[in-house]
Amino acid sequence: MTTLTKEIKKEEKKVPVRGMMDNVMEQFESAANQIKLHPNIKKILSITNNEIIVNFPVKMDNGDVEVFTGYRVQHNNALGPYKGGLRYHPTVDIDAARALAMWMTWKTSLAGLPYGGGKGGIKLDPSKYSQSELERITRRFTYALADNIGPEHDIPAPDVNTNSQTMAWMADTYMSTRPPAQRSANQHVVTGKPAGSGGLEGRDRATGYGVYLSIKFWAEKNAQVLTDKKFIVQGFGNVGYWAAYFLEQDGAKLVAVQDANGSIQNPKGIKVEDLYNYSQINEGSIVSFPQAQPVDNDKFFGLDCDICIPAALGNQITKDNASKIKAQLIAEGANGPTNVEGEKILLKRGVTIIPDILCNSGGVVGSYFEWLQNRNGELWQLNEVMAKLDKKLKESFDKVYDYSRQEGIDMRTAAYCIAIQRIERAYVQRGIFP
Amino acid sequence: MNHINICPSCLHMSSCVLTTQKDKVWSCSEYDEKGFEENHLPENQVLNKTVKLETELV
């Protein structure tokens, strides 16, 4: 560690705001202490590499010009190009992007990908703009970011209020700014594109499939079978639905679901496809599904089950409900569903938690596959994608599981330790320029 | 200070049963932007979860 002695000037970079992502920061601190992270590397990882703010004008449908503010925060690229989503939302700002970019650094590192972490977006309310205005806003933002993004430098992806269409516009705009002979070699500047425009087959199910695989790997390690295991799912969006779909294929039984509208249960089992089809004709809601009974929303996490999958939002398992949970396994499909107090209670009770950073990493691995596919000029079939996901996620799961056993620590701390150690190793090997 | 708060612009804000901490949500699988899907997706894709907006952190 003799090469890392130069002090970083504090005024050169900003420290991320803690308030928003207290849990993540606390985990970073805890893991840094656990692995005795070198203070110089801790200094580097506590701050962002680059923060880009662009103000750009766009002509509206009525002829007026509006000026928008866009952000891109690049936290760390020790392992490879920055990777992370772009969100369109009124609350987007540099502080928000900073914390989320840092989280992406840990996530990509743990997944064993050659990526760093980034995040960004535009401060706007998309419901106030037409489709053609959103297209012009996206294209002009891409142009304003210019060489601050790139297929080997910083690769955005969809996030809140951005989708495959947004990514298709970004890719097209970025490619159009390159010399003609280089255009098609730049398609991997973004991931999350539509399948017909360089996107990945099966990208829609990648995160949910990863949640299912994490549960399957855990069961294998513990000599258990999934057949007849009862599970509950909070959130019946992309992640919750696909996780339930694959678990059911393996013989497990969905016994309760909660979405934004309410909660239902059936101890004898709920058919995943029937519930999905019902929700499609019921404005997206699972409430009043004929083959289930309503259940109190407050009692949802205390329902009888073997596996609990919080796949909606953060801060769901807390000190108020952790002691009532019957499941022996929590698979975190959402980001941050278990808070620090809730986790302490669960761990004390011997409940295993597969942490979000590992459990829902199928999405970012899927993005990596799309990037690789474009970069190599290939088109992968769905079964090939699923097989590759299986292999990649098994590697990450085994590393975290084995490390947690070896060190006698929980899987979340183990995941952060592995993620941070991987970045630390890169700095130790490379040293600091000059 | 918590800067990210996606609930106020969500379609389910007034009826959502998932959380009472609607000032602390930065990521949610149930999130639907008010008026966004209706305005920006073809009619047959609205509320179809297979094409629902991707809100996962990638």
Interval A88-100: pLDDT, tens:
999 888 888 888 8
- Cα–Cα distance between A115 and A106 in angstroms, integer? 10
- Cα–Cα distance between A367 and A113 in angstroms, integer? 10
Q: What is the pTM of this model?
A: 0.91
**B50 neighbourhood in chain A, CB within 8 Å:** 204, 238
**B57 neighbourhood in chain A, CB within 8 Å:** 84-85, 100, 103-104, 107, 159, 335, 363-364
At which residue do the structure tokens 């996206």 appear? A138
Confidence band for A23, pLDDT divided at 50, 70 and 90: low
Facing B18 at nearest CB: one of A204, A207, A313: A313
Model pLDDT, residue A333: 96
Kindly list the strands in the beta sheet with A117-122, ordered across the sheet, starting from the edge strand earlier in the chain: A50-59, A65-76, A117-122, A82-88, A154-158
> For residue A68, which amino acid is it?
F
Q: Is the pLDDT of residue A164 over 60?
A: yes
**Alpha helices (H) along A289-353:** 340-348
Interface test with A, best of B2, B7, B18, B36 (most A CBs within 10 A): B18
Average pLDDT over residues A96-120: 94
Higher pLDDT residue, A389 or B34? A389
User: 3-class DSSP state for residue A337?
Assistant: coil
**B26 neighbourhood in chain A, CB within 8 Å:** 20, 96, 100, 314, 335
Interface of A with B in 324-353 (CB under 8 A): 333-336
Closest chain B residue to A312, measured at CA: B29
> For residue A200, which amino acid is it?
L
A423, A113 Cβ separation under 8 angstroms: no
Q: Is the pLDDT of residue B44 over 70?
A: no
Contact B56 A360 (CB under 8 A): yes
Q: Interior CA angle at A131 toward A125 and A136, to 5°?
A: 85
| Model confidence pLDDT, tens digit, residues A171-207 | 999 999 999 999 999 999 999 999 999 999 999 999 9
Q: Of A250-254, A359-363, B23-27, B42-46, which gets the smallest average pLDDT?
A: B42-46
What is the overall mean pLDDT for chain A? 93
Q: Is the pLDDT of residue B42 over 60?
A: no
Model pLDDT, residue A376: 97
Closest chain B residue to A283, measured at CA: B47
Q: Please, which residues have CB within 8 angstroms of residue A334's CB and are 6 or more apart in sequence?
A: A234, A235, A239, A310, A311, A312, A313, A314, A316, A356, A360, B27, B28, B29
| Interface confidence: ipTM more than 0.90 | no
Q: Of A358-367, A392-401, B16-25, which gets the smallest average pLDDT?
A: B16-25
- Cα–Cα distance between A142 and A165 in angstroms, integer? 14
Contact A104 B57 (CB under 8 A): yes
The reply to whether B55 touches chain A by the CB within 8 Å rule is: yes
| Model confidence pLDDT, tens digit, residues A373-431 | 999 999 999 999 999 999 999 999 999 999 999 999 999 999 999 999 999 999 999 99
Q: Is the pLDDT of residue A9 over 60?
A: no
Confidence band for A215, pLDDT divided at 50, 70 and 90: very high
Model pLDDT, residue A21: 60
Contact A89 B35 (CB under 8 A): no
**A236 neighbourhood in chain B, CB within 8 Å:** 29, 49
Average pLDDT over residues A132-143: 98
Q: Is the pLDDT of residue A291 over 90?
A: yes
Contact B1 A19 (CB under 8 A): yes
Q: Is the pLDDT of residue A15 over 80?
A: no
Q: How many CA atoms lie within 13 A of A193 on its CB side?
A: 23
Q: Interior CA angle at A22 toward A18 and A24, to 5°?
A: 110
Higher pLDDT residue, B48 or A280? A280
A107 given a catalytic annotation: no
Q: Is the pLDDT of residue A234 over 50?
A: yes
